[in-house]
């Protein structure tokens, strides 16, 4: 078989604790996931003609005909904003939280789907035990972003667009070096560290009341499970 490789940006999205959900619960959350992801891809200027989505049951594989930068800014923050809107209206234990894995490289597609070392790397980095522990430790977070070492070296460390390299933490996860970021945290709660949620991040941040309403603020970041001026 002859494969024709192409250079693509790769995003793997996976639900936290999907095995603990009922089948109907998974279906409901998958609908939310797709809505949030479509909005984020559109905001990243990756319309339908430049992306291909494959369902993973409890996640989504997105392959974009693009350089990787849009998957780092603005996509993760738009995803977190969408998740915050949804999670503001549900119990904390029913939150939808996501792991986002970002990589790039040469891949090929046959009648069964995508193939290539870059694809294998993207799946491995998002499913590492260390990455899962970071999201678990970040109890107020909507998501965790994990990028491969090549993505960090080529893009993140240079601080393109609104990327803050200092918000990424280095993690050796199952023998593989990755870099993790938790939107809403100054730095990710790496194993052995205490969580460091942001208190005065600049830029537009979406914050949610516990009655489901969402408002904009320039400098304040509020846990979606905390309400002001109302009853809990």
Q: Where are the domains of the chain?
A: 6-217
Task: Tell me what pLDDT residue 16 has.
Answer: 97
Its pTM stands at: 0.83
Residue 89 CB partners (closer than 8 Å, separation 6+): 212
Task: Tell me what pLDDT residue 93 has.
Answer: 87
Q: CA of 34: how far to CAs of 27, 29, 47, 65, 123, in Å?
A: 11, 9, 14, 19, 18
Top CATH class, 6-217 = alpha beta
Residue 228 CB partners (closer than 8 Å, separation 6+): 209, 222
Task: Tell me what pLDDT residue 197 has.
Answer: 55
- Nearest CA among 162, 126, 170, 161 for reference residue 144: 126
Kindly give the parts of the chain with pLDDT less than 50. 195, 199-232
Q: Percentage of residues in the chain with pLDDT exceeding 90?
A: 78
Task: Tell me what pLDDT residue 34 has.
Answer: 98
Angle 182-72-114 (CA atoms, 0-180°, nearest 5)?
110
- Torsion of Cα atoms, 135 then 62 then 72 then 116, to 10°: 90
171's tokens: 């993690």
Length of the chain as a residue count: 232
Task: Tell me what pLDDT residue 196 has.
Answer: 52
Task: Tell me what pLDDT residue 192 has.
Answer: 75
């Amino acid at each position: 078989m002859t494969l024709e490789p192409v250079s693509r940006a790769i995003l793997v999205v996976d639900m936290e604790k999907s095995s603990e959900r009922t089948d109907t619960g998974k279906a409901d959350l998958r609908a939310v996931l797709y809505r949030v992801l479509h909005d984020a891809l559109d905001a990243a200027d990756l319309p339908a003609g430049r992306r291909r989505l494959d369902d993973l049951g409890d996640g989504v594989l997105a392959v974009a005909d693009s350089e990787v930068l849009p998957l780092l800014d603005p996509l993760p923050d738009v995803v977190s904003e969408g998740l915050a809107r949804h999670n503001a209206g549900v119990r904390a234990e029913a939150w939808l939280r996501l792991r986002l894995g970002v990589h790039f490289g040469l891949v090929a597609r046959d009648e069964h789907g995508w193939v290539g070392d870059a694809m294998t790397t993207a799946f491995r980095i998002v499913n590492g035990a260390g990455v899962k522990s970071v999201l678990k430790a970040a109890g107020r977070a909507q998501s965790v972003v994990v990028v491969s070492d090549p993505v960090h070296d080529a893009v993140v460390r240079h601080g393109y667009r609104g990327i803050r390299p200092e918000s990424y933490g280095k993690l050796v996860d199952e023998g593989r070096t990755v870099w993790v970021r938790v939107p809403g945290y100054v730095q990710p709660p790496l194993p052995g560290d205490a969580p460091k949620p942001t208190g005065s991040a600049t830029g537009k941040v979406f914050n949610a009341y516990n009655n489901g309403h969402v408002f904009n603020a320039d400098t304040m970041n509020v846990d979606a499970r905390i309400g002001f001026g109302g009853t809990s």
